[in-house]
Amino acid sequence: MLQQRPFGRTGHQSTCTIFGAAAFSRVTQAEADRTMELLLEYGVNHIDTANSYGASEKLIGPWMDRHRDNFFLATKTEERTYQKAKEHLHRSLDLLRTDHIDLWQMHVLVQPDQWEVAMGPGGALEAFIEAKEQGLVRFLGVTGHHTVVGWMHKRSLERYDFDSVLLPYNYAMMQNRTYRTDFEAVMEICEARNVAVQTIKSCTRGPWGSKEQTAATWYEPFTEQADIDRAVHWVLSRPNIFLNTPGDIHLLPRVLDAAQRFEPRPQEELDASMAELNPTPLFA
């Protein structure tokens, strides 16, 4: 079974590896069913989906009829206004076949103009706070990509005391001095407030570039088990963070296998191991 860690101040002990349900964007119900069985086999108890992940919420819905108590369920919206975000939430509740969401997140909130709308009068934040007061959601979070995400998350945490953040974390990204500085600043805030930190893009080799795309991920992932082991163990070696799995159901078994075999090792050894793979950053 997978190691569990406290998911911030929520009181939930989440598996250190969270299922990234972007992997359900373009799969059949039968494929989703086999994947959900795999999650139960490994004891994964946290699902992270989004209203924008194709049919993901709809595919998960039948499983919530039977296994709602087995999973901490998170979803997201990219809507920035009160009314549109509220509509998205009710759509998510219907598709997921549940009366509440454990974690509702503002998705990819990295554009300053969108941030002003979401956090201002009539913005999505008002819908988020209202939904929490009504018991439709239990906790609130914010997510983002790109090198600016650390800086934007700091701004979001200054505006509202979110329960979780989500952002990229891998060896290549952390070689960017600016990104590393912002990431560490966010970590300092989150550790002080006991805010959960979810990380994405753990298994990124680099952009596809001119290569043929052979996986469902929009970046080229590591595919060999030994390489996935290195990437997964590098991420999990940091306490108090979570690894959200890549968006490809065929990579998932290898990622879960690597996570199940994780044992702490010296950081210098892990860094040297990742450097040998020569990954390249997704975001400049």
Rounded Cα gap, residues 36 and 62, in angstroms: 11
Average pLDDT, the chain: 97
Rounded Cα gap, residues 143 and 277, in angstroms: 28
Domains of the chain: 4-277 (3.20.20.100)
pLDDT tens digit sequence for 234-274: 999 999 999 999 999 999 999 999 999 999 999 999 999 99
Please report which confidence band the pLDDT of residue 29 belongs to, taking 50, 70 and 90 as the band edges.
very high
164-168 and 137-143 beta bridge pairing: parallel
Q: Is the pLDDT of residue 200 over 90?
A: yes
Q: What is the pLDDT of residue 284?
A: 73
Please report which confidence band the pLDDT of residue 1 belongs to, taking 50, 70 and 90 as the band edges.
confident
Rounded Cα gap, residues 26 and 32, in angstroms: 10
Q: What angle do CA 179, 182, 183 make, to 5 degrees?
A: 80
pLDDT tens digit sequence for 73-123: 999 999 999 999 999 999 999 999 999 999 999 999 999 999 999 999 999
Q: What is the pLDDT of residue 282?
A: 86
Q: Is the pLDDT of residue 191 over 80?
A: yes
Rounded Cα gap, residues 2 and 19, in angstroms: 12
Q: Give mean pLDDT, residues 198-227.
A: 94
Q: Is the pLDDT of residue 283 over 90?
A: no
Q: Which residue has the tokens 């998510």?
A: 92
Q: Give mean pLDDT, residues 158-163.
A: 98
DSSP 18: E
Distance from the first to the final alpha carbon of the chain: 37
Answer yes or no: are the C-beta atoms of 254 and 232 closer than 8 Å. Answer: no
Q: What is the pLDDT of residue 189?
A: 98
Q: What is the pLDDT of residue 239?
A: 93
Q: In this structure, what token pair is assigned to residue 147?
A: 């090198």
Q: What is the pLDDT of residue 63?
A: 97
Residues facing 222 on adjacent strands: none
Please report which confidence band the pLDDT of residue 161 belongs to, taking 50, 70 and 90 as the band edges.
very high
Best CA proximity match to 217, nearest among 276, 282, 144: 282
pLDDT tens digit sequence for 41-60: 999 999 999 999 999 999 99
Q: What is the pLDDT of residue 81?
A: 98
